[in-house]
């Protein structure tokens, strides 16, 4: 089975005032727990088979394969995935227009024993533009402090009871529905968002310490809507 990471954009849900330009996720160890009706539980983690990866969804087109593994056949009454998220390297965040103060608003810098700066940034960054009611357009940046995303599995008909047959290949696709997550949030939170413009380039930063209400709402939506589809 291949585990793929996929971001979806449904044109019927996509808000006209929101445009996504990129998403980056720092993926690390993935743990899987599958409870079967018979034959015992099946456990798996990618620690020995997959290194830390930075995955970028520039155009949200094709899912990206993150791991592959063999699973025993049987009827699974429950499948859970714990996908660990690590800090993105600062060089992968495309923050050329942010000042150091703005950069610290989406992460923080510590110092190692040798005195060198160590960057502890977000594990997932979503960027795009927002169009205000007055027609003006401004970039936004959602920087999450996820350390792990826990998701359940469903078949294409949204059933959590999944049957895996012998000698058949399956794909597991983790879906993050950006358009649904963002469009389900009150637009008022964006209209009233604090704008950072220390370097002359206005931007809406949404993080654990910037625009906290908007951040909490979006992170909650992403956590609740993310799921893995087995087919």
CA distance 40 to 193: 50
Nearest to 209 by CA among 109, 105, 108: 105
- Give SS3 for 55: strand
CA distances from 202 to 93, 129, 134, 194 (A): 17, 11, 16, 10
CA distance 214 to 222: 12
The single-letter DSSP state of residue 187 is H
CA distance 49 to 55: 17
pLDDT in tens, the chain (231 residues): 777 877 776 655 556 788 888 888 888 888 889 999 988 899 888 764 455 677 777 666 677 777 777 888 899 999 999 888 888 776 655 555 666 677 767 776 777 788 777 767 788 888 889 999 999 999 898 988 888 888 999 999 999 999 998 888 888 888 888 878 888 888 999 999 999 887 778 889 898 888 999 999 999 998 888 899 998
Q: How many helices (H) and strands (E) does the chain have?
A: 4, 15
Nearest to 223 by CA among 147, 136, 118, 129: 147
pTM: 0.81
Contact assessment for residue 166 and residue 229, using Cβ atoms and an 8 Å cutoff: no
């Amino acid at each position: 089975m291949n585990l793929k990471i996929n971001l979806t954009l449904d044109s019927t849900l996509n808000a006209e005032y929101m445009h996504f330009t990129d998403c980056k996720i720092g993926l690390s160890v993935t743990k899987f727990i599958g409870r079967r009706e018979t034959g015992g539980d099946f456990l798996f983690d990618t620690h020995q088979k997959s290194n830390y990866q930075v995955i970028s969804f520039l155009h949200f087109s094709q899912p990206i394969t993150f791991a592959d593994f063999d699973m025993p056949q049987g009827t699974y009454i429950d499948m859970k995935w714990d996908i660990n998220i690590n800090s993105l390297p600062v060089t992968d965040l495309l923050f050329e227009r942010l000042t150091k103060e703005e950069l610290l608003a989406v992460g923080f810098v510590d110092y190692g024993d040798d005195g060198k700066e160590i960057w502890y940034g977000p594990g997932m960054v979503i960027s795009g533009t927002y169009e205000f009611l007055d027609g003006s357009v401004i970039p936004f940046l959602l920087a999450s402090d996820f350390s792990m995303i826990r998701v359940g599995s469903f078949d294409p008909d949204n059933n959590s009871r999944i049957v895996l047959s012998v000698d058949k290949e399956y794909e597991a696709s983790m879906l993050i529905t950006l358009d649904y997550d963002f469009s389900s949030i009150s637009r008022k939170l964006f209209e009233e968002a604090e704008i950072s413009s220390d370097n002359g380039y206005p931007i809406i930063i949404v993080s654990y310490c910037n625009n906290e209400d908007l951040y909490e709402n979006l992170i909650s939506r992403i956590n609740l809507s993310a799921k893995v589809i087995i087919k």
